[in-house]
Structure 1
Amino acid sequence: MVLKDKVVLISVSATSSQEKTAELEKTLLTLCDKLSKHQARIAYGGNLDPDGFTFKIERKMADRHLGPKSAFIHIIDQPTFLASSFEQLGELLGSREKLVETQVCLGTNVLTLGWRRGRLSFDRGRDTTETLDRSEFDAFQRRYAVQPEDGYTNSRRAKADIVDACVAIGGKTGIVGNSADKFFGRLPGIAEEVYYTLCAGRPVVPVASLGGCAHDVAVALRIIRDSSGTEVQHQVGFEQAMTALVSVSGKIPEHVRQDLQLAAGPHTAAEISQAVVNVISRWNAGQPQGGNLYTGM
């Protein structure tokens, strides 16, 4: 299969619109199911909220196996790691066993996080592993202390370096006066992850029909036109992110633009998921755009 062992970053967060919450979640889980059937691995950079998307994806992927590899990769960003306790991380890792691969962004590096006999392990690759007990953990965290804005940007850049594609769903845009739409970091997280992934020349797919930042990303990348007709004031950083995306929109291969429009359109969760698979599969293939939501790969 074309997507076998490919790591697909799902850049998702709730929008400020409660009306689309159920549809967003359905599309997310349908997409995870579709990608896993094509033997792709799902990556998500989520926090440790027990009611959040991290654990919803984890439960969806719990029975999926790709040989020795976990089907789901949970990437903990630097600010979340710095706010976590040794006990919290140990409990998380101990409950997962081998069902989930847990990674953590520290600076510009992504390390594999493990739990061995009451110690946290940080695997840097090439047989370089650091292990810590409770008494050593606080000092380790202080080594990586940064301002949250720097931590979020470092993590988003680091994630883009290790994945093969990025799918954007929902997301905050920082509408002024709407506390439910506040984003964290210098730029909206979804826009920033799409930007760095596209800068690396890898496929990006914004699911625009569910609104939120993914819609604005699709407009900035010239996949769809903005039909809202209204001007809204956003947090500082939003316009900067959109301008940056416009500047890299030319990196999208022309032969996948029709498939991108299908993924961005008001279709069913199953149809959107198929369009996402089409985009990722064809991005580097130089194939004519299919424009067919119903053709399996």
Structure 2
Amino acid sequence: MSYKEVLDGSKISISISESESMPALGLSHAHLVDAMCEAARHMLALGATVTYGGDLRTHGFTRILYELVCRYRKDSCDNKNLASVINYLAWPVFMNSDIDALFALSSEMEGTAEIKVIDEQCNPLSLKDASSLMRSSTFDWSSGLTAMRRIITAESTARIVLGGKTSKFNGSMPGIAEEVLISLQSHKPVYLLGGFGGCTREILDLMGVDNQFDASLPCWPYSDEFKQYKLEDLRNGLTTEENTALANTPHIDQAIILVIRGLMNIHADNQVEAQRD
């Protein structure tokens, strides 16, 4: 029996990675894994497809998502998003991957998870097509990562953001920063969970959001771009007070409740608009 969940048809992008400030906040990799699992679990349970741009390391977040999707397989009436998780591989990441392992994983997760390879011109490729181009192709890390992030943003409904390193990154700016900036420029809803510090918290500081600790002074490339944005530019269905709470809470349960509240408010507003039309 099929049914319709409130987020059926939605694609929620999760941007999450370790940050240099986590140890100072008393946080470990285990806390980050728990945060990823909670965010993905609730989105999947509400019927959304979770999208993520990352590599396929054995203990990486993509593998964790694939394990989760085995527990939360879609059983809804949404026929447009058959895959519960879509992993986008930037061309440089794909070029450095084990191709046989990718084909094996794709076959294993067929129907519940999908792998999309994005070339540097923002074209999505199947694994077969991408692998046939490998030997004759070159790549640039910066343009390859930017292309992947633009595609994810274009295809996603909203983005959940947490952590993020601000040094030793491959692109033109920290990965979390570029994903948030593209989302803001595209007017897509963004949820900034600042309790894990890192690039996410620094973006909030640049936006002038109250910080329960001392505000940071970011100096990574293009950081000044975020000074033009305010909380209302997040377009995430939350009030200023709610976004400030989301920016500061160290409790992932509270953060997820706020994210769900925002998504529900956006869904309700869309329903009202649809009825007017």
TM-score range for the pair, normalised by the shorter chain length:
0.7 to 0.9
Is the CA contact (8 Å cut-off) linking 2:191 and 2:236 kept in structure 1? Answer: no
Q: Letter of the aligned partner of 2:31 in structure 1?
A: E
Q: Letter of the aligned partner of 2:126 in structure 1?
A: L
C-alpha displacement of 1:268: 2.5
Matched with 2:228 is: 247
SS at match of 1:73: strand
Q: Letter of the aligned partner of 2:159 in structure 1?
A: C
> Structure 1 37/266 Cα, relative in aligned 2: closer, same or farther at 3 Å?
same
Count of residue correspondences: 255
C-alpha displacement of 1:228: 2.2
Deviates more, 1:273-282 or 1:245-254: 245-254
Provide the identity percentage: 21
Q: Letter of the aligned partner of 1:243 in structure 2?
A: D
Structure 1 unaligned regions, length at least 5: 115-119, 123-131, 175-181, 288-297
SS at match of 2:115: strand
| Cα distance in 1 between the residues matched to 2:237 and 2:107 | 45
Indicate which of 71, 85, 90 corresponds to 1:63: 71
C-alpha displacement of 1:88: 3.3
C-alpha displacement of 1:266: 1.9
C-alpha displacement of 1:283: 4.3
SS at match of 2:57: coil
Deviates more, 1:163-172 or 1:258-267: 258-267
- Note if 1:100 corresponds to 2:113: yes
SS at match of 2:126: strand
Structure 2 unaligned regions, length at least 5: 271-277
| Cα distance in 2 between the residues matched to 1:86 and 1:141 | 10
SS at match of 1:56: helix
Deviates more, 1:218-227 or 1:205-214: 218-227
| Cα distance in 1 between the residues matched to 2:155 and 2:34 | 26
Indicate which of 6, 9, 21 corresponds to 2:10: 6
> Structure 1 103/224 Cα, relative in aligned 2: closer, same or farther at 3 Å?
farther
Matched with 1:162 is: 155
Matched with 1:206 is: 192
- Note if 1:272 corresponds to 2:255: yes
Is the CA contact (8 Å cut-off) linking 2:85 and 2:113 kept in structure 1? Answer: yes
TM (norm. structure 1) is 0.76
C-alpha displacement of 1:86: 3.3
Detail structure 1 runs of 4+ shifted over 6 Å in the superposition: none
> Structure 1 221/2 Cα, relative in aligned 2: closer, same or farther at 3 Å?
farther
Indicate which of 69, 83, 88 corresponds to 1:75: 88
Deviates more, 1:4-13 or 1:214-223: 214-223
CA RMSD of aligned residues (A): 2.6
> Structure 1 73/199 Cα, relative in aligned 2: closer, same or farther at 3 Å?
same
| Cα distance in 1 between the residues matched to 2:202 and 2:216 | 13
Q: Letter of the aligned partner of 1:247 in structure 2?
A: Q
Q: Letter of the aligned partner of 2:117 in structure 1?
A: V
> Structure 1 36/86 Cα, relative in aligned 2: closer, same or farther at 3 Å?
closer
SS at match of 1:109: coil
Is the CA contact (8 Å cut-off) linking 2:189 and 2:235 kept in structure 1? Answer: no
Q: Letter of the aligned partner of 2:244 in structure 1?
A: Q
Is the CA contact (8 Å cut-off) linking 2:189 and 2:236 kept in structure 1? Answer: no
| Cα distance in 1 between the residues matched to 2:105 and 2:236 | 43
Is the CA contact (8 Å cut-off) linking 1:260 and 1:276 kept in structure 2? Answer: no
- Note if 1:171 corresponds to 2:164: yes
